[in-house]
Amino acid sequence: MTATISWGNRKSIINDAKKMMDFMEHSPYDFVQHVSEKELCQLQDRSIHRTFTGEDFREFILHLKKIYALHESMEELFLMRENEDNFYHSLERFRSSFLENSPHRSQKHVSSTYKNSSAKRLMMFLRWMVRRDRKGVDFGIWDRLSPKFLSVPLDVHTGNIARQLMILTRTQNDWKAVSEMDSVLRTFNSDDPALYDFALFGIGVSKDF
């Protein structure tokens, strides 16, 4: 949920993530499993985060409820297949399973790599779940996916700094740009290429290049 609303002002993102957690009584998994229609109706006219509405939040809860009725963990939906060396196909398989061709407007909040999206928010979510660090930023909860296949979540900040460093030449922040950055960053650290997200993003935000 937090990864989904992670665009715009960071303070607003954190405040709105707390708003969602408050609604889910700070037990999101348990809430999703046992949510009532009465509780879902309370979301209809709520404002959550910019264009992510209460109605979108309701749909996401229902999608998650469906997923957890079929799978013990969401990790299963992201598993890679033989000969795949990044999450390009995996992210699209997740999207298809999560949305199940739903015509609801909330589908716009789940990026499609097959439409050449960089899938920044989904990639950031994967970084949190797959990669483990000593600072408690990346939790490393999942162990069936390897961090060596992660990509830097590409946004305006990381893209601009990567271009200044000549790591990236493509002008659009799309999946082709993600692949181009991968080809360089994996030569620096083949086991943990997403490590460079912290430096690229941090320099971009601080403007200390």
User: Which tens digit of pLDDT belongs to each residue from 16-74?
Assistant: 999 999 999 999 999 999 999 999 999 988 999 999 999 999 999 999 999 999 999 99
Pairing of strands 47-49, 52-53: antiparallel
Same domain, 62 and 156: no
- My answer on whether 92 and 189 are in the same domain is yes
* Average pLDDT over the chain, rounded to an integer: 95
Say whether both 148 and 201 belong to one domain.
yes
The pLDDT of residue 202 is: 87
Instruction: List alpha helices for the chain, DSSP H.
Output: 10-23, 28-34, 37-41, 54-70, 75-78, 88-99, 120-130, 156-164, 175-188, 197-206
Angle in degrees, CA 77, 38, 20, rounded to 5: 55
Whether the Cβ atoms of residue 145 and residue 187 lie closer than 8 Å to each other: no
Rounded-to-5 percentages of helix, strand, coil across the chain: 55, 5, 40
Q: Which of 97, 110, 96 shows the shortest CA–CA distance to 5?
A: 110
For residue 5, what pLDDT is reported? 97
Cβ-proximal residues to 107 (8 Å cutoff; 6+ apart), any chain: 99
Residues 135 and 177 in one domain: yes
The alpha carbon of residue 5 and the mean position of all alpha carbons in its chain are separated, in whole angstroms, by: 9
Domain count, the chain: 2
Q: How many residues does this entry show for the chain?
A: 209
CA distance 63 to 14: 23
Q: Is the same domain home to 86 and 65?
A: no
* pLDDT of amino acid 65: 96
The answer on 59 and 33 residing in a single domain is yes
Same domain for 113 and 17, yes or no, is: no
Mean pLDDT of 113-140: 96
Q: What is the pLDDT of residue 208?
A: 79
Half-sphere exposure of 141 (CA within 13 A, CB side): 10
Residue 209 has pLDDT above 80, yes or no: no
User: Domain containing 156: what range?
Assistant: 73-209
Give this prediction's pTM: 0.94
Mark whether 58 and 79 lie in a shared domain.
no
What digits encode the pLDDT tens for the residues 81-125? 999 999 999 999 999 999 998 888 889 999 999 999 999 999 999
What is the rounded distance in angstroms from the CA atom of residue 57 to the CA atom of residue 97? 17
Q: Are 59 and 83 within one domain?
A: no
